[in-house]
């Protein structure tokens, strides 16, 4: 078998030479390619470094942004949330303004008190704690068990508000765990029922949404001047620890309370006490439960005393008689009856068609529209002068006098001029406006009735204002209680109205009214020895709202008058509501005004 020829063997030197030559050749030939590969590796390494750097920059910016967000943008919110988790907020009521009488006596005042609250998380024995509280504050343990148990709140709940300082101190001495105290105030009425209807009362109103209780006037001047007296509530926050324990000194003011303003009112509380005593005794003597009395300075409208029976005691409301919270001289309406004859006679005198001595034929009865008009007391046909008509209170006489010497149309205009179709504007809640039928609908009998105060209604302050104008040169002044605000030294001003223009007519009317309390006039029990008492009595029928017509054997009795020819500015109204039979209330006027004479040094001129 033939073999392939072998390649000639190279010498050792030749092989080495060739090897070096190839190496040299291989290193020199691809030089440009090796350079590109190296550059690629360097470029790729640089990108990786750049990416790492950018990544760290982005992360740093993210952390920085988060830091700014937390420290700047939502810092306040997070801080508030954190604080909220360790604080308890509560309202603090301002001290309510004090009510003074005209002589500086305190009628209503807010005194220091304490509000008791609990941190239930600190109370390990709620039952025994509730029992201990009840023994001091009164009530039963069940009244307090919810407040000291971890029910509604684990860290804060009110136990009792407006506790007297004395009781709070006794409770504090027990050192009950989890029981704490906040300074507060409570309303007190030093004179009890005296002036109670005028002063009024407060009740504790509840704002459940804000867990707030506050005083709110519910009647009388406490209600009418509630905005002035109440002030503005404050808001406080108390810090607590992680376990709910209050931190000492950790109470912060968010909004400080603004105290209410004081007011000075026109009432003389000592005279008020006398008026109430005279009224109560008088009602007892005539066997009646409901009556009213008021004394006003006719020259400026200031009310010195006013009351209605039964009385109201704002300091003790365990029993509140029906209707006792209202001063009925302002809030109740009545048909005035014969005290309105003064209005009719004044209108005639202003017209100038009659004098006190003008005679009027007065039959026993007169008829109109199928109705019969008679006097309150049966009598025969007679002739009366205008003075007699007022003195003996003749319904027939005043009806014919108005019809024949004034006319019903002008009489109606006079009623409007004397402002009986308008509220007096007294600063007392609930004043009622009476009833006056439009003249277009008047019948003859309606005209007759109104002349002696039937078929028309009003509140007692309206008729009192008219009588006040008679002794104040025809000027009616808005009746009121508020006379001053001590903090600002503000003195309110009130409207006045010239309702009677003819002073001569006023003087004549006043002279006729003195006849009522002399000799055999209807108001002789109002007379006071040594003084010229003038006024008018009334025995008014009462409309029966259930059956229609007028009630039988039940009347509204009244007397309105004053002391003439003296330095007295006072006008006084006394009334008895739904009195059985014709019984006078003039003696009550006598007793009230006799005290006024002595108290205010009223002397005859």
Q: Chunked in runs of 10, what are the mean pLDDT values of the chain (605 residues)?
A: 44 43 43 51 61 78 72 63 60 88 97 89 91 94 90 77 90 93 88 98 81 85 96 74 54 75 98 98 95 98 98 94 96 97 98 98 97 94 98 97 98 98 97 96 97 97 98 98 96 97 98 96 96 96 86 92 97 96 91 98 94
SS3 452: coil
Largest CA distance in the chain: 191
Per the document, the length of the chain is 605
Given this model, what pLDDT does residue 94 score?
85
Q: How far apart are CA 563 and CA 561, in angstroms?
A: 7
Given this model, what pLDDT does residue 35 score?
52
The answer to whether 410 touches 418, Cβ cutoff 8 Å, is no
Q: What is the dihedral of CA 411, 415, 416, 418, to 10 degrees?
A: 130
Q: What is the CA radius of gyration of the chain?
A: 46
CB-based contacts of 492, cutoff 8 Å, min separation 6: 480, 482, 483, 484, 485
Given this model, what pLDDT does residue 62 score?
79
The answer to whether 556 touches 243, Cβ cutoff 8 Å, is no
Residue the block writes with tokens 């406080």: 236
Instruction: Give the count of alpha carbons within 13 A of 584, CB side only.
Output: 16
Given this model, what pLDDT does residue 415 score?
98
Superfamily of 269-314+326-578+587-599 according to CATH: DD-peptidase/beta-lactamase superfamily (3.40.710.10)
The answer to whether 559 touches 589, Cβ cutoff 8 Å, is yes
Given this model, what pLDDT does residue 78 score?
57
Comparing CA positions, the residue from 226, 434, 436, 197 lying closest to residue 294 is 197
The answer to whether 94 touches 230, Cβ cutoff 8 Å, is yes
Q: How far apart are CA 138 and CA 83, in angstroms?
A: 36
The answer to whether 133 touches 176, Cβ cutoff 8 Å, is yes
Q: Which long-range contacts (CB under 8 A, 24 or more apart) does 582-585 make?
A: 582/376, 582/539, 582/555, 582/557, 583/286, 583/287, 583/288, 583/557, 584/286, 584/523, 584/525, 584/537, 584/557, 584/559, 585/282, 585/286, 585/291, 585/557, 585/558, 585/559
The structural domains of the chain, with segments of one domain joined by +, span 269-314+326-578+587-599
Residue the block writes with tokens 């010497």: 405
Q: How far apart are CA 300 and CA 302, in angstroms?
A: 6
Residue the block writes with tokens 């072998």: 6
Comparing CA positions, the residue from 219, 482, 471 lying closest to residue 342 is 471
The answer to whether 581 touches 287, Cβ cutoff 8 Å, is no
Given this model, what pLDDT does residue 14 score?
43
| Cα→Cα distances 516→94, 513, 575, Å | 54, 5, 17
Whether pTM exceeds 0.85? no
Q: How far apart are CA 92 and CA 113, in angstroms?
A: 12
SS3 605: coil
DSSP string, 548-582: SSEEEEEEEEEEEEEEESBS--EEEEEEEEEESS-
């Amino acid at each position: 078998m033939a073999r392939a020829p072998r390649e000639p063997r190279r010498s050792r030197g030749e092989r080495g030479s060739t090897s070096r030559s190839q190496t040299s050749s291989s290193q020199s030939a691809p030089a440009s390619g090796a350079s590109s590969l190296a550059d690629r590796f360097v470029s790729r390494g640089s990108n990786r470094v750049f990416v790492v750097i950018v990544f760290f920059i982005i992360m740093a910016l993210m952390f920085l942004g988060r830091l700014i967000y937390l420290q700047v943008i939502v810092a306040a919110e997070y801080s508030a949330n954190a604080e909220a988790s360790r604080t308890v907020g509560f309202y603090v009521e301002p001290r309510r303004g004090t009510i003074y009488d005209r002589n500086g006596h305190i009628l209503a005042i807010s005194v220091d008190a304490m509000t008791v609250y609990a941190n239930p998380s600190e109370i390990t024995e709620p039952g025994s704690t509730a029992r201990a509280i009840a023994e001091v504050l009164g009530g039963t343990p069940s009244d307090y068990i919810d407040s000291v148990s971890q029910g509604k709140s684990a860290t804060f709940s009110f136990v009792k508000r407006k506790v007297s300082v004395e009781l709070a101190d006794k409770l504090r001495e027990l050192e009950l765990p989890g029981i704490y105290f906040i300074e507060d105030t409570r309303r007190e009425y030093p004179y009890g029922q005296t002036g109670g209807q005028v002063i009024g009362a407060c009740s504790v109103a509840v704002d459940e949404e804000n867990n707030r209780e506050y005083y709110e006037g519910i009647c009388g001047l406490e209600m009418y001047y509630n905005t002035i007296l109440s002030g503005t509530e404050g808001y406080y926050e108390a810090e607590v620890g992680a376990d709910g324990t209050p931190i000492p000194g950790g109470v912060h003011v968010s909004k400080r309370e603004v105290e209410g303003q004081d007011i000075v009112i026109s009432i003389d509380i000592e005279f008020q006490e006398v008026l109430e005593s005279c009224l109560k005794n008088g009602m007892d003597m005539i066997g009646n439960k409901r009556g009213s009395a008021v004394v006003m300075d006719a020259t400026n409208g200031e009310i010195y005393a006013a009351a209605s029976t039964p009385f109201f005691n704002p300091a003790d409301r365990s029993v509140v008689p029906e209707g006792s919270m209202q001063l009925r001289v302002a809030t109740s309406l009545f048909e005035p009856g014969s005290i309105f004859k003064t209005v009719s006679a004044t209108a005639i005198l202003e017209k100038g068609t009659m004098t006190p001595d003008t005679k009027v034929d007065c039959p026993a009865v007169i008829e109109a529209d199928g109705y019969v008009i008679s006097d309150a007391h049966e009598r025969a046909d007679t002739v009366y002068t205008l003075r007699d008509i007022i003195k003996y209170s003749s319904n027939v006489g005043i009806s014919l006098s108005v019809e024949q010497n004034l006319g019903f149309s002008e009489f109606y205009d006079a009623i409007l001029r004397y402002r009986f179709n308008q509220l007096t504007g007294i600063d007392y809640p609930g004043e009622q406006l009476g009833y006056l039928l439009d003249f277009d609908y008047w019948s003859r009998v309606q005209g007759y009735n109104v002349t002696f105060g039937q078929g028309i209604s009003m509140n007692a302050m309206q008729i009192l204002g008219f009588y006040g104008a008679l002794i104040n040169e025809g000027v009616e002044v808005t009746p009121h209680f508020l006379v001053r605000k001590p903090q600002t030294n503000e003195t309110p001003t009130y409207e006045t109205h010239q309702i009677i223009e003819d002073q001569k007519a006023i003087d004549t009317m006043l002279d006729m009214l003195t006849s009522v309390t002399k000799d055999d006039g209807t108001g002789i029990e109002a007379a006071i020895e040594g003084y010229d008492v003038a006024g008018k009595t009334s025995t008014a029928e009462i409309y029966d709202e259930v059956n229609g017509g007028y009630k039988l054997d039940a009347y509204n009795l009244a007397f309105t008058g004053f002391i003439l020819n003296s330095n007295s500015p006072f006008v006084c109204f006394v009334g008895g509501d739904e009195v059985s039979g014709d019984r006078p209330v003039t003696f009550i006027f006598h007793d009230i005004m006799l005290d006024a004479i002595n108290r205010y040094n009223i002397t005859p001129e």
